[in-house]
Amino acid sequence: MTARITASVYTSHVPAIGAAIDLGKTAEPYWQPVFTGYERSKAWMTANKPDVIFLVYNDHATAFSLEIIPTFAIGCAAEFKPADEGWGPRPVPVVKGQPELAAHIAQSVILDDFDLTIVNRMDVDHGLTVPLSLMCGEPDAWPCPVIPFAVNVVQYPVPSGRRCYHLGKAIRKAVESYDEPLNVQIWGTGGMSHQLQGPRAGLINREFDNAFLDQLIADPETLSKKPHIDYIREAGSEGIELVMWLVARGAMADTPPRVVHRFYHVPASNTAVGHLILENPR
């Protein structure tokens, strides 16, 4: 038996959500609806604990700066520390890696003509730790090893949705050629609509977001052709983070997935919080 991708998880990664958890504010009226939306997700995680999470996220000029900007970077280290983003590192567990599977995926995907950057030392910012907190709560240790996969969505030119979708397919092939019966989840994070700067700061587009969720479930192939300019115009400058969801969706089976959970909520900081859990047919 080889490794296989059993499910995919999609979620926003708002840093203020991490602060709300770390400062014990999850029951406050502003935050309570957000965390209620993830109650089912945490129960599902406990019942469906994977062996490895392949976590697609973006670094926000934390581990990388404008000096070096990898388009796609795979974390092959044994561990990744929570980054100090200006207020000290989040008080969350160190992220344990899975160097063997990461190296296998790097080899398979690079030989399939995707040029990944191999990262052997990296701190991980809210893009990675906030989704883990939302899905796993506040454990002493994360439930399983995580392979961080960073996508540049910060500095133009960022990869197209199409490229991300096809990369997901190459990741699926890599996982399915790994000779150990591991249960692998793939997570796509970031989004949904938000813009953090300029005259349109605070932009939220519920209609766009919900259409994106519908199409991600039902017709990712067509969704993958959506050009950058549509994301930026409709979902704001940071809405482009959504291309990362297409990596995870591309890694799912070609048959329709089972929708385990769908959640959408505004407000949470400056971002529309969107969340999906999709399972592959068993």
Catalytic residues: 126, 194
Q: Provide the pairing of β-strand 72-75 with 146-151.
A: antiparallel
Which CB atom, from 60 or from 226, has the smaller least distance to ligand DHB?
60
Among 71, 185, 271, 280, binds ligand DHB (CB under 6 A): 271
What does the block give as tokens for 139? 């454990």
Q: Give the residues across from 52 on adjacent strands.
A: 184
- Compute the least distance from the CB of residue 15 to ligand DHB, in Å: 5
Q: Which residues pair with 24 in a beta bridge?
A: none
Q: Work out how close the CB of 123 gets to ligand DHB at its nearest, in angstroms, rounded to a whole number.
A: 15
Nearest to 213 by CA among 3, 4, 8: 8
Task: Quote the CA–CA distance of 30 and 276 in Å, as a whole number.
Answer: 21
Q: Which of residues 193-232 bind ligand DHB (CB under 6 A)?
A: 194, 196
Q: Taking the CA of residue 42 as centre, how many other CA atoms within 13 Å lie in the half-sphere pointing to its CB?
A: 14
Q: 28-47: b or e for each residue (b if 16 or more CB lie within 10 Å)?
A: eeebeebbebbeebeebbee
Build a one-symbol-per-residue string for 127-166: x at contacts with ligand DHB by CB under 6 A, - elsewhere.
Answer: ----------------------------------------
Q: Total number of residues binding ligand DHB (CB under 6 A)? A: 11
For ligand DHB, the binding residue among 9, 11, 60, 278 (CB under 6 A) is 60
Check binding of 14 to ligand DHB (CB under 6 A): yes
Contact between 242 and 231 under an 8 Å Cβ cutoff? The reply is yes
Q: Does 270 bind ligand DHB (CB under 6 A)?
A: yes
Q: What's the closest the beta carbon of residue 219 comes to ligand DHB, in angstroms? A: 25
| Region from 10-18, 89-97, 179-187, 244-252 binding ligand DHB, contact rule CB under 6 A | 10-18
Cα separation of 272 and 246, whole Å? Answer: 18
Q: Which residues make up the interface to ligand DHB (CB under 6 A)?
A: 13-16, 60, 194, 196, 238, 269-271
